[in-house]
Amino acid sequence: MREKRDQADASRRGSAARLGALLRPGLAREARRRGFAEVAVLTDWALIVGTALASRCQPVRLSFARGSDRGGTLVVHAMGGTALELQHGAPQVIQRINQYFGREAVASLRIVQAPAAAAIRAPAPAATRPLTPSTLAAIDAEVAAVAPEDLRRALAGLGRAVHAAGSR
């Protein structure tokens, strides 16, 4: 279902597609190699356990006992206090995972004290240049005719940001 929607979105936008849709086939192979039948455990980890916890721990492998059709053991990497938090909250985490998939996908957690993968950091803000009083006056003059005060302030702020980020 998701793939069809992604393909339909891509056809409407020309050649653009969701990054998740492009990465899903390669990620699915790697996920199956690590025991994840569902790639969503990896891709939707933040949705399942919450962004605060997901930024400090990472699912690594899902293993099942031979011949067992019951839930498996999810191995999660976490450090220090996060490992302790995860240990105490394990029943809730397991419940969230199983509710997410609508079946008993995980029966237990095994927490390994290891660093989670490096979190993706937001890029550093671009260097801005100071605006001259004449530039500020020109921006204010451009938006002076806008009637709602809050819209005028927002447009003036946008103008200042665009001029400050402009090429030097």
Q: 148 in a domain, yes or no?
A: yes
Question: Which tens digit of pLDDT belongs to each residue from 10-27?
Answer: 455 555 555 455 555 555
Give the model's pLDDT for residue 46.
85
CA dihedral 3, 9, 10, 13 (to 10 degrees): -170
> What is the phi-psi region of residue 3: left when phi exceeds 0, alpha when psi lies from -120 to 50, beta otherwise?
alpha
Q: Are residues 141 and 101 in the same domain?
A: no
Q: Are residues 38 and 106 in the same domain?
A: yes
Q: 29 in a domain, yes or no?
A: no
Q: Are residues 109 and 137 in the same domain?
A: no
Give the model's pLDDT for residue 168.
47
pLDDT band at residue 120 under the 50/70/90 scheme: very low
Question: Which tens digit of pLDDT belongs to each residue from 36-95?
Answer: 555 567 778 888 888 888 888 888 887 777 776 678 888 899 988 888 999 999 999 999
Q: Are residues 62 and 94 in the same domain?
A: yes
Q: Are residues 49 and 86 in the same domain?
A: yes
Q: Are residues 87 and 148 in the same domain?
A: no
Q: 99 in a domain, yes or no?
A: yes
Q: Are residues 39 and 102 in the same domain?
A: yes
pLDDT band at residue 143 under the 50/70/90 scheme: very high
Structure tokens at 159: 């103008």
How many structural domains comprise the chain?
2
Q: Are residues 106 and 139 in the same domain?
A: no
Give the model's pLDDT for residue 71.
80
What gap in Å lies between CA 115 and CA 104, rounded to an integer? 27
Amino acid type, 90: A
Give the model's pLDDT for residue 94.
92
pLDDT band at residue 122 under the 50/70/90 scheme: very low
Q: Are residues 47 and 84 in the same domain?
A: yes
Give the model's pLDDT for residue 121.
45
Range of the domain at 61: 34-113
CB atoms within 10 A of CB 105: 22
Q: Are residues 41 and 96 in the same domain?
A: yes
In contact, 86 and 111? CB cutoff 8 Å: yes
Q: 9 in a domain, yes or no?
A: no
Q: 1 in a domain, yes or no?
A: no
Dihedral sign from CA coordinates of 38, 40, 45, 48:
negative
Q: What is the pTM of this model?
A: 0.49
Q: 94 in a domain, yes or no?
A: yes
Q: What's the CATH number where 43 sits?
A: 3.30.300.20
